[in-house]
Structure 1
Amino acid sequence: MIRYLQLKAPSREARTTKQNVRAALEIKPSGVVVWVQFDAATLELGPFLVFGGSPGSPLPDLSAFKVARHTKGNAEGIKAERPAIRHVPKSHFTKYESSVQVYEALFGAP
């Protein structure tokens, strides 16, 4: 089974509370976002956060999430919207402690 994946990898110390998710992932037959956190000192991976449906299911509807904006303003200082990018809060991701659990979430039990 093919999963269309968007991968994010901030350190555990990062204060990020949301991730930018491409709306195009929503139209793929099996889209998913995997947020891998790591320890900056030891490079140990985990925990893992996953946003997506079960294997073979599309990404949940993104229309309810806030539209992202450009980080830099134009000549007038206006930060334009990025309609193809949505902010998905950390609370909408499912947390897994091991890569085996992530594998099973993405592809089903072996």
Structure 2
Amino acid sequence: MNAPTNIYSHRLEKILEHEFLAGIGKCLWNRGIHDFEVLHSEIDDNGYDLIIEACGKVRHIQLKSKITGGRRAQINVHNKLLDKPSACVIIMEYDPATLAVKSYRFFGSEAGVKIPDIGERVVKHSRANAKGLKAIRPNLRNVPQSWFEEISNSEELCCRLFDI
């Protein structure tokens, strides 16, 4: 039986993050790259969830998830990613029945190049205050999913991340 994702969203995010890291780790390992490092952001106010260093390249990664076939058209991207040298945003599209990641979407540039401009479309809180107003979230921007590159599997994503 599938658990409601809104109640257990943090657990679901961790499951998908582990699947993402396993796929990247396997790709690097199978290519003979055994010296790589994964760092986790303890506090999520700098825009990234993970830092992966491999092949002399450092990637600050903001992970997002989406149910395969879901209709989400915009992705909230943290503007502090613009300050990082090789930041990117990765959407993991997953099957809700199996939690298997079916594909990825990538927004970023080559390793060593700053992330492209994320635009000026500010994000508002999903809940209104007592006056019925939704406050602006000043550090987030709505980025259309159409700006993201489709990537079919973790092997292809790994090559995209580290230019291998």
Q: TM-score, normalised by structure 1?
A: 0.91
The equivalent of 1:54 in structure 2 is 110
Structure 1's consecutive aligned runs of 4 or more residues displaced over 4 angstroms after TM superposition are none
Tell whether 2:67 aligns with 1:11. yes
The structure with the greater share of residues assigned to strand is 1
> Which AA in structure 2 matches 1:95?
E
1:41-96: per-residue Cα shift (whole Å, max 9, x none)? 2322121000001111111112x241100111122111111121001111000001
CA distance in 2, matches of 1:65, 1:11: 26
Q: What 5-or-longer segments of structure 2 have no aligned partner?
A: 1-56
Q: Which amino acid aligns with 2:129?
A: N
1:20-40 residue CA offsets vs partner (Å, 9 max, x unmatched): 000001111111000010111
| Partner amino acid, structure 1, of 2:136 | E
Q: More relative contact order in 1 or in 2 (CA 8 Å, sep 6+)?
A: 1
C-alpha distance in 1 between matches for 2:126 and 2:109: 29
- Structure whose alpha-carbon radius of gyration is higher: 2
Map of 1:81-92 to 2, 5 A cutoff?
81-92=136-147
Unaligned runs of 5+ in 1: none
- Please give the root-mean-square deviation of Cα atoms over the aligned residues, in Å: 1.1
Paired AA for residue 79 in structure 1: K
Q: How many aligned positions are there? A: 108
Q: Is the helix fraction higher in 1 or 2?
A: 2
Check if 1:68 corresponds to 2:123. Answer: yes
Name the aligned partner's letter for residue 121 of structure 2.
K
Structure 2 letter corresponding to 1:73? A
* SS in structure 2 of the partner of residue 78 of structure 1: coil
Q: Given the two structures, how large is their TM-score scaled by the length of structure 2?
A: 0.63
Inter-partner Cα distance in structure 2 for 1:68 and 1:90:
15
Q: Does 1:45 align with 2:101?
A: yes
